[in-house]
Structure 1
Amino acid sequence: MKNAETPVFKLALLGGLSSLGSALMAELLKRQHEVIAVVDDLNSLAPRPGLHFKTGGLDNPDQAEQSVAGGSAVICLLAALAPDDFAAQLRMSQALIAGMARTTIRRLLLVGDFDVLDHSEGHSEQQRACADQIVDLLQRSPLHWTLVNTPQQVAGLGIEHFHQTHGTLEPGLAEPLQRLARVAAAMVDALELKLHHGEHVNFVF
């Protein structure tokens, strides 16, 4: 049950059909926030109380602005939108940052392959250059941003799985499911408690 001091977000979520996106939707709805899931197909998920859908994307700043409109904060899962395509992730980030700058929305959690910022081994020069450019764009923007490393994900996990993180689960799913649920909870904590502004974080559990 919420009290008068608990902030309520209407969260615009891009990349919500991934396993981390599903964990985030479940966590946000559990805390009675509203979620606007930006999707290609409005029939991608069954309706739930507090969960809304709109079509959109990050092809350009105009589309990005329309996609996040109506939200009070944004979470964008870059690695879910363009897996291993770092140039595409950079283009999407450019569109999102420019689009959000036109709105009153200032809070952004940007989730991607940002481990390269701390550990260059095993990463390409292109990946490093793209990550550096994203950081530069954010630092020059008016946004209250947080960069989050993409956690290891498991294909095929949907929002219904995260409503039963204990109990009967397929073999091998319990640990990754609970780990992703904890990462999602930490990300929502960062929103609610206004943590990690201007920081690069890696939630490890």
Structure 2
Amino acid sequence: MKVALYGATGKAGSRILAELLSRGHQVTAVVRTPSKLATQPSLTVVQGDVSSAEAIAAKIKGFDAVIDSFGPPADDTDQVITVTQHFVDAVTQAEVPRLIVVGGAGSLEVAPGVTVISSGHIPAQWLPIAVSHDKALALLKKSDINWTYFSPAGFFEPGERTGKFRLGKDQLIVGSDGASRISLEDYAIALVDELEKPQNERARFTIGY
């Protein structure tokens, strides 16, 4: 599959890139600084940014799917809302069949009608990015494109590639120890699984142990 990946040098994006390449996909990583990534078989590295829908559309035309792993700066998390709209418009302009977004966990439910955000359990320093991601998801839901929003578990961090995890829809997945966790590596497995065999088109899904 011919895939355009944004955010390929980030924590999640780098794992997604490795997973895509290990499965033989043809990947173009669109990055601000191409020198940060070494070109290798099946990987093309091009310079680009997310400053406008037009900038993105020019890079993604002809691709089978786009993966948005953009991470906003900590002091301006609302950039993720603007960038999500850019991706929606770009996918429309370039007529790309699918957009997969690396999302947030804050909008997942911990009880019927109660999200992680509204539960009051998010530490203050993480609340801005959680709220911004929630608003970005709302933009996708209002769009006409074929989107998938993939929410991680509450704790989303480097770890092992186990291949053993659970998937869900809108409810936070919690383990037997009461914690909600997923490794970046296992998240990447599930995202590429979804790319290859779509189960959540125009929908959100989530993952956890």
Q: TM-score range by the shorter chain?
A: 0.7 to 0.9
Would the aligned equivalents of 1:11 and 1:74 in 2 still touch at CA under 8 Å? yes
2:195 corresponds to 1:200: no
Task: From 100, 108, 111, give the equivalent of 2:99.
Answer: 108
For residue 21 of structure 1, report the CA deviation from its aligned partner: 1.4
Query: 1:16-27 alignment to 2 at 5 Å?
Result: 16-27=8-19
Distance 1:131 1:137 in 2: 10
| TM-score, normalization by structure 1 | 0.74
2:128 corresponds to 1:137: no
Distance 2:40 2:129 in 1: 40
Match in the other structure for 1:47: 39
Task: From 30, 43, 48, give the equivalent of 1:56.
Answer: 48
CA 1:184/1:83 → structure 2, altered by over 3 Å: closer, same or farther?
farther
One-letter code aligned to 2:140: L
CA 1:69/1:54 → structure 2, altered by over 3 Å: closer, same or farther?
farther
One-letter code aligned to 2:183: R
One-letter code aligned to 2:63: G
Distance 2:21 2:103 in 1: 23
In the alignment, structure 1 segments of 5+ residues that lack a partner are 1-8, 167-177
CA 1:92/1:193 → structure 2, altered by over 3 Å: closer, same or farther?
same
Task: From 82, 91, 111, give the equivalent of 1:91.
Answer: 82
Distance 2:72 2:92 in 1: 21
Tell me the alpha carbon deviations over residues 136-189 of structure 1, each in whole angstroms, 9 at most, x when there is no partner. Answer: 3222323221111246234xx9xxxx9xx69xxxxxxxxxxx932221111011
Distance 2:54 2:44 in 1: 21
Task: List structure 1 segments (4+ residues) > 6 angstroms apart after TM superposition.
Answer: none
For residue 29 of structure 1, report the CA deviation from its aligned partner: 1.1
Distance 1:84 1:188 in 2: 30
Counterpart secondary structure, 1:102: helix
One-letter code aligned to 1:136: A
| TM-score, normalization by structure 2 | 0.73
One-letter code aligned to 1:58: V
One-letter code aligned to 1:37: A
Tell me the alpha carbon deviations over residues 44-95 of structure 1, each in whole angstroms, 9 at most, x when there is no partner. Answer: 11111000011111111111212323321011113x3444633111111111
CA 1:65/1:115 → structure 2, altered by over 3 Å: closer, same or farther?
same
How many residues are matched? 176
One-letter code aligned to 1:54: V
Q: Structure 1 stretch 94-103 or stretch 113-122: which is displaced more? A: 113-122
Match in the other structure for 1:15: 7
Q: Looking at both structures, which has the greater relative contact order when contacts are Cα pairs under 8 Å and sequence separation is at least 6?
A: 1
In the alignment, structure 2 segments of 5+ residues that lack a partner are 110-115, 163-181
